[in-house]
Amino acid sequence: MLYRHLGKPVFFKMDPEKAHHLVVGGLDKASSVPYAGAALRLMYGVPETADLAVDLFGLHFPTPVGLAAGLDKNAAAVPGFSSIGFGFMEVGTVTPKGQPGNDSPRLFRLLPDEALINRMGFNNEGADAMKRRLQDIKRRRIPVAVNIGRNKVTPNEQAHEDYRQCIRTLYPYGDFFVVNISSPNTPDLRSLQHGSELSHLLAEVKAEMELQRTATGMAKSLLVKIAPDVTDEELEFMIGTLQAADVDGVIATNTTLSREGLRSDKAGETGGLSGKPLRDRSTEIIRRIYRQTGGKLPIVGSGGIFTGEDAYEKIKAGASLVEIYTALIYEGPEVNRRIHAKLRQLLRQDGYTHISQAVGTDHH
């Protein structure tokens, strides 16, 4: 209620990107204030419950609901985001070298649609800056995934070098890694999802992960984030390639280029659309991946989750974990408690004692 009546009216009068920086900056500063983390956990934290805690990728997730990549691009506010009820979070997308991203304005609220359009373009301070920040965090409350991409100026033929560089720099500091080949805001990036380019990229990335595993003695999981704007045939090929490359999981999905059914006057802006209009398409992609893999490739569901019912729908479609982003902007940090409570209620209604029992039940 606090956010809806106090925070949101202020933030929504501001330019969306300025509001974004204010939130991340505020959470960053809070981590250096004594007891601020405890106060955030008291206000917004979600107590771990045995029925919703998930063990996956060799990690423990206190809740199945995480923060999607894109909000904390530079790992600037990990302790803050870790204190407001998330079970894990992605930082990034990070590229080897820092880059400014696309020209402003590049972030738009579509209020009637409860959606966002962004064309940020992987604006970030680079892998070395992220390394310093993650190094400085004394205690991790939740798993932190590092979402990696290529620099805008790097041609696709050399993209694997950028992904390998990110892994080299950040391997000791991420709990798992996510290869982003599905942002619509970096020219030609999505073509890395298809054909021999995908096989080559994954072979290179897996080779680097193995080198780092050997060097550090730490095994880390590798996931790939895919786009919703693919044909059935493209999706089938892509998932087959991911399985052949032996990746550990898939995040479905990134933002969409579709503008179907939008009412906002901002619908014509270019960029990736997130929020409620993406919900059904991302769930359908999850359903198809689960069906194709027989549930053997773990799925993180992302796209349009605002309620516990939305999250549960993705879990029954086949997702073992889920992520939110746009809901946090529209609903505030209270959203995590609401989703958590509703998920517990829905599990009990269906006679399940643990969230894992509900994964993929749409297919049974």
Catalytic residue chosen out of the listed positions 183, 221, 282, 320: 183
Q: Among this protein's residues, is 183 annotated catalytic?
A: yes
Q: Which two tokens stand for residue 113?
A: 């649609």
With residue 336 as reference, give the H or E element that holds it. Answer: helix 334-349
Q: Which residue has the tokens 């780092």?
A: 212
Q: What are the structural domains of the chain?
A: 2-363 (3.20.20.70)
Q: Which residue has the tokens 């930082």?
A: 91
Contact (CB, 8 A) for 129 and 184? no
Sequential pLDDT tens for the chain (364 residues): 577 777 788 889 999 999 989 988 888 887 788 888 899 999 999 999 999 999 999 999 999 999 999 999 999 999 999 999 999 999 999 999 999 999 999 999 999 999 999 999 999 999 999 999 999 998 899 999 999 999 999 999 999 999 999 999 999 999 999 999 988 888 888 887 877 889 999 999 999 999 999 999 999 999 999 999 999 999 999 999 999 999 999 999 999 999 999 999 999 999 999 999 999 999 999 999 999 999 999 999 999 999 999 999 999 999 999 999 999 999 999 999 999 999 999 999 999 999 999 999 999 8
Cβ-based neighbours of 204, under 8 Å, separated by 6 or more? 160, 163, 164
Contact (CB, 8 A) for 165 and 126? no
Q: Read off the pTM.
A: 0.96
